[in-house]
Structure 1
Amino acid sequence: MRNWLKYWPGLRQYSPFALCVAALLVLPACTGLNQAAINSLQAAYQGPNRNFEAVPRNPAYQYMQVEVPGAASLTVLGYQYPNLQVWYAAKGEVVRLQGNRLLDTTGLNVNLANVQYTPGAQTQQTNMKFDVPELGLFNVQATLQLQRTEPPKSNLAKRASEQANAGKGLYWYSETLSSPLPAALEGLPPAIYGFAQPLPEGTNASQLPPAVYGKQCLAPTYCLEWHRQ
């Protein structure tokens, strides 16, 4: 992850909490946040082996662990629209989720931008249009196909499952990009979501409940994982 943001997309839309987060690197304290939340944000990983369980949590805030290859962060929910969540890390990374899916990211080595999701032709399909600026890709169009799958083998997915449903685990679904993709995205793995409950038969892919765990790849070898905690 990069140490600071290239830009703050639409920052004026967000709460004073978001502005407070932006100041964490230059101010010793911020009146908009409890000290425990400040400590949590400033405890962002320098590597994949840091133990987040030791970081103090403030129950007034929602936390999400985010991992990319070689780095990870503990993020705090800064703003929530009806179907949009904006998560902030202490070093300036921003992850926006629309439902379970990535809407955009800022401050990563590879970022997703200008994403649009629309209902697909079938219940289990969603149309997606997006940019990956670092790969020189713009206005890429694809169709996502939702289906049951096996759990991923990552450590974060394993921990998320172990902590869910009193140890009973999560219910796993994948979304495969079924349309032809640019050469730079050939071999892109499917997105994977872990839900606390199985999806009812016929659930529309555009109306999914919140997922506990998600993984979405921005490039064939660069995937972003998140675990709502």
Structure 2
Amino acid sequence: MAEQDQTGSATEIERDDSALVMREPIHDQILPHIRRAIVESRFGPGERLSEPLLCRQYGISRTPLRQVLKSLEAEGLVRLVPHVGAIVTDPDVEDLGEKMDVLMALEQLAATRVAQARRPRAVARIQRIYDKMCKAAETGDAAAYYQLNDTFHRAIVTGCENATLETMHQNIMWHVHRERHRVNTHEPFSVHAAEHHAAIVDAIAAGDGDAAGRAMRQHLEDVARVLMAHRKAHGGA
């Protein structure tokens, strides 16, 4: 399943990050780093984000940092509490279920449209990524597999060439990635993981939109069951 190449625009971060190369507005440079730290649970649910600490870490003033925090609040990753500051959100089971419903609808539509259009370049890219996923799974390289998995789903979304769908998908995926990251720390990696995507790839390659959409929905329903079961068992852990 699919952080953008959903991992894409969000650069890897460690809490001791030093100064960044100043090519874009400061807000645009810092946002992906803090977002990724939240998604990967380096800032945990319910944790207060210290403005002085973040300012020192990134070498910035409070003005651009607060712009970042407002963006994260709009994305639903933090709450801005008066006289307290930014608190990392901790969505409950119902909220996760709602987001998975939206994700399934978006990716089912994307898979359907990609198969119907059957653009050679898009189909070839999806197949190429899937082949790499299979190799990573066979060798037990979980880190590479999950990154390729994200790229695979993103390739299907971008392959249908619908900018509105892409934007909606990107916004919802941050929350799904965060939950999946929690699951991955508890669940063993399966060498058969890539096989769940075979029906999707076959239907897209055949140009069968209905079959591609059904295969994607079935795959994501399986993913949703795992995420929801984990959420109920572990709560915000």
Whether TM-score is above 0.5 comes out as no
Q: Return the TM-score normalized by structure 2.
A: 0.25
Q: Which has the higher contact order (CA 8 A, sep 6+)?
A: 2
Which structure is larger by alpha-carbon Rg, 1 or 2? Answer: 2
Q: Return the TM-score normalized by structure 1.
A: 0.25
